[in-house]
Structure formats: structure tokens, C-alpha cells
């Protein structure tokens, strides 16, 4: 599997990787038995993927290209745009509801129900 490092901690030798399959993120933790490259944010890596306790773990990472996309975490963070989730004080936008009574009136007038008219 290939992926890009979204977060890393060089002192603890840990990283979080966004996988090419766009599934769950993969977590990497260097252990005493597993020596790997030092991973930095934006590095493109190839790794083996295993699932442990319902968590995707990257093993045997190999650095493909250093620093290929260092701004990816910021891009993803801002991908939701300036719009944030509505708060209770700010209700979510909703569809305009057209009451059925107006449709019934149009039918009495001989107008088609499928014809568009201002609400």
C-alpha cells in the first residue's frame, strides 16, 4: 500500500498515514524489532498493512519520496471549507416547504400539479 504521512512524532517514532485506498488511516509505531525510516509529514511511503484490534497498522515502511506533499494536512483540514457545522444558535439551512393547500388550490383552478409556481 502507498500513503502520505499526515502526522509524525520523530522522538516517539510514530506516524499517521493517509492510505491510497482512502480507507481508515494507518498508524505506524516503530518498535525494537522493527527498524524503519524516520517519517516526516508529507512523506510518500510504501508499507504493508495489517489490522490489529480493528485498527489499521502500517508495518515495514519504505520511504518513496521525502516531503512530496508537506501541506496535505492543512489542505485536508481546510477541505470542509469556511463553513462549519451549525450551532444550536445557528440552525442548519433547510429546504423551502411548499404547503399542500396551494397545490390543492391549483388543482381546483385547473392548473397542472407539475407546473412550477412561486411559493
Residues whose CB is less than 8 angstroms from the CB of residue 59 and which lie 6 or more positions away in sequence, other chains included: 28, 34, 47, 48, 49, 50
Question: Which domain does 49 fall in, by range?
Answer: 2-74
Tens digits of residue pLDDT in 14-46: 999 999 998 999 999 987 766 778 899 999 999
Is residue 9 assigned to a domain? Answer: yes
DSSP β-bridge partners for residue 26: 17
DSSP β-bridge partners for residue 15: 8, 28
Is residue 87 assigned to a domain? Answer: no
Total number of domains constituting the chain? 1
Is residue 8 assigned to a domain? Answer: yes
Burial (0-12, 13-18, 19+ Cβ within 10 Å), 3: buried
- Residue-level pLDDT, tens digit, the chain, 119 residues: 999 999 999 888 899 999 999 899 999 998 776 677 889 999 999 999 999 999 999 999 999 999 998 888 888 888 866 555 555 666 666 666 656 665 555 556 665 555 555 55
Is residue 111 assigned to a domain? Answer: no
- Which CATH number does the domain housing residue 6 bear? 2.40.50.140
Amino acid at each position: 500500500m502507498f500513503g502520505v504521512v499526515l502526522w509524525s512524532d520523530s522522538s516517539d517514532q510514530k506516524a499517521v498515514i493517509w492510505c491510497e485506498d482512502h480507507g481508515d488511516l494507518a498508524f505506524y509505531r516503530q518498535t525494537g524489532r522493527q527498524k524503519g525510516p524516520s517519517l516526516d509529514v508529507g512523506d510518500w511511503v510504501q508499507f504493508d498493512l495489517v489490522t490489529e484490534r480493528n485498527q489499521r497498522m502500517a508495518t515495514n515502511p519504505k520511504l518513496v519520496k521525502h516531503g512530496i506533499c508537506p501541506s496535505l494536512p492543512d489542505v485536508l483540514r481546510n477541505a470542509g471549507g469556511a463553513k462549519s457545522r451549525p450551532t444550536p444558535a445557528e440552525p442548519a439551512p433547510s429546504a423551502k416547504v411548499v404547503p399542500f393547500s396551494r397545490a390543492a388550490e391549483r388543482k381546483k383552478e385547473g392548473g397542472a400539479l407539475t407546473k412550477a409556481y412561486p411559493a
